[in-house]
Structures are given as C-alpha cells and as structure tokens.
Amino acid sequence: MPVSNSVDREETGPSVTDGDERDRESTDGLPINELFYSLQGEGTLAGVPSVFVRTSGCNLRCWFCDSYHTSWEPTHAWLDLEAILAEIESYEQAEHVVLTGGEPMIHEGCVDLLETLAERGYHTTVETNGTIPRDAPIDLASISPKLESSTPTPDRDPKGEGEWAERHENDRIDLEALTDLVESYDFQLKFVVTDEEDLPEILELLADLRDAAAVPIRDDDVLLMPEGATRERLEDTRSRVAQLAMDHGFRYTPRLHVDLWNDAPET
C-alpha cells in the first residue's frame, strides 16, 4: 500500500510538518507513507519475511535518507489504528512487523499500535534514530544513531537550502534517550558507515554509552551497514565497511532489499 506524492493531506487527515512531529499528541492513528510485505533487509533479522509499517515525518534530516518522502518531503495518508491492523493482518503468513519511518517514535500513536500488535502475538521491530524513547512493548529496538557524516551540510543538502544542518547536528545524538532504549529493550545498534573516518565517532559514542548504561553493550550488538540506497552506491561502500567490521570485531549487516530490488518502493 504505497502512498503517492500527490496525496491530498487535507482529505486524508492531519499533516506532518517539518517542525512539529515531536509534539504530536494525537493517538488516533498514524501518518502512513507505505505499508507492505517484504523481507527485512537489515540487521540481525535480515531475510525474515515481515510487514513494514512506514510512518511519515522525522525529527532529523540525513542527507542520504533512503526514505526521502518520509523526511525531506513528508507524504502520507492518515490511517486509524483499525485500518492499519486490518492491512497488517491481511498478510496472513507474516509473524513479524517492522515499524519504521521516517522516525516512528515521534508519533504517540505508535504506542497504541505496538501494544495491540503485542496483544495479537506479533514480533515487533522498531527502527529508530534513538532520540525519542517511548513506553511501549518492543521485541527488538533497531537503533541507528546518526553520525556527523549524516548531517546535511550545504554541499550535501538534497534541497540545497541548508536550513536543516544546524538542527540536525544538534539533535542527532541524545545519550540519555539512547541509554533509556538499550536498558529497556533487546536492541541492536546499527550504524550507517561510509568509510573509516566514521569509526572514531562510533567508538567514542560506544564508550560513552557503555559508561552510561546499566546493561552490557557487546561488540556483537553493534552492526556496521554500508551507506547507499542503490546497488551502484553499495558497490562503492560495502567492501570497505565489511573490512571495518572485521577489523573492529563488530557485525556487518547487508542491505538485502537494495541488493534484491535496488531503490524500488515497497521493499
């Protein structure tokens, strides 16, 4: 169930604006950009058939975002909880649900959805940038802290406006929120990596998080994922990121959906 760029936001429900996502108080559904059945492409559950619920709206703006129409130009239809659940349950073979975005945790309505999915016996993964914790049942928190290399500086801003660089840089790491998430859930820390220049920041963040958290953070909990939303781009990054994972004792995660379907929607 894709949502096209031409969706009329006034007809489909409340809009999600660039600046107000975190303050949403509505629990009457969620802004849905896509809802589809595919294979999990990343992380420890790579290859598992899953229903993906992709919300629209994000509090950050990574310049390489592979879900452009959930962040830079949010597009969505507003669906109530029952409509979302009905669509999920239409995929009768699926036992796993992935709540992703954008940044799904900016929406208070995600809590109701996760609670209901838990009641109905689904395994849930939440893909989050780690800046907004929620009190909700989550089987796997897939936390992807954003490195400095993600910041949309003027020379790599997709819209060429440069207005998000400072805000993104200020908000991209929240150690208190990260600590809350790793202490509350089974987790994986998934870093998008371009090259070895990203590693010092990852190592420093891990040291800070290990000092702050009351739970162990093993090297096996850390996954390095090559930056790239197309097969062509992954060809440039995957080999060196795999080598970095081996050099530092971290796990390497592919992007199976890109390898299989390139940058097609609903994958």
The model's pTM: 0.90
Give the chain's domains with CATH numbers: 9-261 (3.20.20.70)
Three-state DSSP class for residue 231 = helix
Burial of 70 (0-12, 13-18, 19+ CB in 10 A): buried
Q: What is the DSSP letter of 95?
A: -
For residue 263, what pLDDT is reported?
A: 86
C-alpha to C-alpha distance for 74 and 72, rounded to whole angstroms: 6
For residue 12, what pLDDT is reported?
A: 35
Q: What are the pLDDT digits (tens) for 113-159?
A: 999 999 999 999 999 999 999 999 999 999 999 999 999 999 999 99
For residues 208 and 241, is the Cβ–Cβ distance under 8 A? no
For residue 27, what pLDDT is reported?
A: 58
Is it the case that residue 25 has pLDDT exceeding 50? Answer: no
Is it the case that residue 18 has pLDDT exceeding 70? Answer: no
Three-state DSSP class for residue 251 = strand
In which order are the strands placed within the sheet that holds 187-193? Answer: 77-79, 30-39, 49-55, 96-100, 123-128, 140-143, 187-193, 222-226, 251-252
C-alpha to C-alpha distance for 130 and 189, rounded to whole angstroms: 9
Confidence label for 28 from pLDDT (cuts 50, 70 and 90):
confident
